[in-house]
Structure 1
């Protein structure tokens, strides 16, 4: 009997050692994700810690973290089994930033200057409620049912949809929110922010301030073959640079988001693995490098910060939006854009209207062709920082559909041929997007 107990004890001890060996390196990322998520959701959208832990942080492994919010100090902390405590601070104008022990919280910092236009125009061009518009070609009952079916029912927790908004000819024809959310709730777009980041290159190109077909302006690349990588290559995610993106394990992407001070530098330092323009590889590091390149286009940091809002965000009335920064003060263009569902929809409308916003052309119409041209070897899935349906990913939707996609099923679908923009925000990819699109499109008379 003693021998059996001893064997069992050794097995248990061995398991504990193995579990610790496998898990300990992840603790820094777990507590980092949790602290950042708590700080962002609480200070950007006023969510309680209870709500955040039951929804935003209800992810395998992340639930191991113990979180605290310091409302007066405007920061959040998280640790796992009392180990690897991480801290995320909130700064007005810059949102939440995950920091390390070397970060000087007393150091002065710049914040973007906002010009939030307030007028008496209805949505989408103003701050008033949208005008009721009835289209005779729409089966509203079918549309209402389709939108309702996008949400969980009877205590289910599978689809995890938080909001759905459907716009036709610039008019809201359907809108629904999960209990606890409404038109004023700011929701993290995750990688939808990538499409926003790319748009600044279209704006600069229209202003004649950048040539995206020229080599990327990176001094560190000038002594090797990386000097041939163009901004165009980066925008199409086919630079050929080494990068691993997987949110199921420790990889380049997770280490960048939850450990690095300068997120734009991570991809910059990677070696060339393939010839540029021949190998598509989705990379959040590439987008943050593009944000770093944007910074280099301005004389000082204040101009860089202001440009994101003056030239686009506030220009189209996305007054709720905030793009969060890394420890260097650069925007995390790959992942950290927050806005209401209606404001995310405005971004989709800007593209539906080919860069024209209420009479002002923010980028040339040719930019639409650029971002919807499939990247080499992407099987028609990806263009210039936008996802495409050219390869038929959604078989029951038009091939001209393109979209902004984010982690956990954030979507802005733009369908030019049908004059539609469809926004779905949630916490799960376990969602029948093709069926959802099919039913919405089916609500229109042929």
Structure 2
């Protein structure tokens, strides 16, 4: 009997210790599941069942129990009944994880949006495009190449745009041209573009020192906005999504995500220590906020001067609880609208008769960051060292978690969008598309 009691006591203590040491991970598990579920249901208009079967079906997120309150627009996720997280929908701002009960009823501002153009053909509006057949395009080979990345590669959408014309387009079951898909870290490239617009309008100078009050009495005062855009500030940051890290704590536990990177010390040297950091992107969102007199102006600017201006009317940029755009991770849009974003860069900021950002901004974002081995520019990824060996070295792209990509190929007048649930080796895919165009 004494032996049984000891065994039960040991088992009890073991369970307590396991819960104690893993409780923070439960917060991330339930937080991810609730946030992703809320956005999938209330932003992308998918069902709970579809989201659980697809987006939230990987370990350990699939261990969470999800429920949706459609009337109040709340998604709830429970981790083994030990910890529960809620995410709420706010009109115009997408969804956000709550931290306290009062967050569910707190007031908020929403961005003012420009009216959608349903008369002008795609890409400059949202009416059907004027179909053109190009004699130099091998459509059979192109469609075969596009089809090859569906199925086992978990591709959800591919759009190929050549000379402003969609020449190939395919969607997985459950998705259409009107389906909003999360771009994850492609949002960083949207952030960079906002800075390009502000630079063009002389609202900011990216070579100025970062205007962060808390840095003014230490060596961080010399960090420039340029250093931040290139993720080359030397600031400490742990971008690890498999553990409790700076990135996961920011996305799932912070009210104001713009502060997470601000509070980090220097651990490297400015302009030589490249370190990929979602915290840096959100810090830049906070710096952008401070360029405007009111929060409403900040919310409106991203849409009226960039997103809606180029007809990306499907896009929803989600904010944190403090109302800052989560520029590291949370932009939703249709694949066609992601294609418009690529076209804006293909045309060097010129859009339907108007210069949105300076032509040399493209040169700026594609300048390799010191220390990145030619793979990174200013919140864009590069092929400068030919890691895609069969693709031109001047190709650059927006890149997001699980294989969200917008490839921009200037010499070929080509934009390729791929949205997916998993990464894959994309050199052969891109090579196939290029070989389809003689």
Query: Structure 1 runs of 4+ off > 6 angstroms?
Result: 2-15
Partner residue of 1:439 out of 424, 428, 432: 432
Judging changes above 3 Å, is the alpha-carbon distance between structure 1 residues 252 and 103 closer, same or farther for their aligned structure 2 residues?
farther
Report the counterpart of residue 145 of structure 1 in structure 2: 144
Q: Is the CA contact (8 Å cut-off) linking 2:163 and 2:413 kept in structure 1? A: yes
Partner residue of 1:290 out of 284, 293, 306: 284
Structure 1 unmatched runs, 5+: 153-157
Query: 1:63: how far off?
Result: 0.6
**Distance (Å, rounded) in 2 between the aligned partners of 1:339 and 1:4:** 61
Q: Is the CA contact (8 Å cut-off) linking 1:400 and 1:416 kept in structure 2? A: yes
**Distance (Å, rounded) in 2 between the aligned partners of 1:373 and 1:410:** 22
TM score, norm. by length of structure 1? 0.95
Report the counterpart of residue 84 of structure 2 in structure 1: 85
* Mapping 1:232-381, distance limit 5 Å: 232-381=226-375
**Distance (Å, rounded) in 1 between the aligned partners of 2:278 and 2:253:** 14
Pairing 1:418–2:412 present: yes
Report the counterpart of residue 105 of structure 2 in structure 1: 106
**Distance (Å, rounded) in 2 between the aligned partners of 1:301 and 1:441:** 44
**Distance (Å, rounded) in 1 between the aligned partners of 2:195 and 2:361:** 9
Judging changes above 3 Å, is the alpha-carbon distance between structure 1 residues 257 and 103 closer, same or farther for their aligned structure 2 residues?
farther
Secondary structure in 1 aligned to 2:333?
Answer: strand
Number of positions where the alignment pairs a residue of Structure 1 with one of Structure 2: 438
Cα deviations by residue, 1:230-278 (Å, 9 ceiling, x for unpaired): 0000000001100000111111001100110000000011111112111
**Distance (Å, rounded) in 1 between the aligned partners of 2:11 and 2:317:** 46
Query: 1:117: how far off?
Result: 3.0
Cα deviations by residue, 1:155-185 (Å, 9 ceiling, x for unpaired): xxx4110000000011000000001100000
Judging changes above 3 Å, is the alpha-carbon distance between structure 1 residues 170 and 101 closer, same or farther for their aligned structure 2 residues?
same
Q: Is the CA contact (8 Å cut-off) linking 1:103 and 1:327 kept in structure 2? A: no
Q: Is the CA contact (8 Å cut-off) linking 1:414 and 1:420 kept in structure 2? A: yes
Q: Is the CA contact (8 Å cut-off) linking 2:196 and 2:358 kept in structure 1? A: yes
Secondary structure in 2 aligned to 1:87?
Answer: strand
Structure 2 unmatched runs, 5+: none
Secondary structure in 1 aligned to 2:86?
Answer: strand
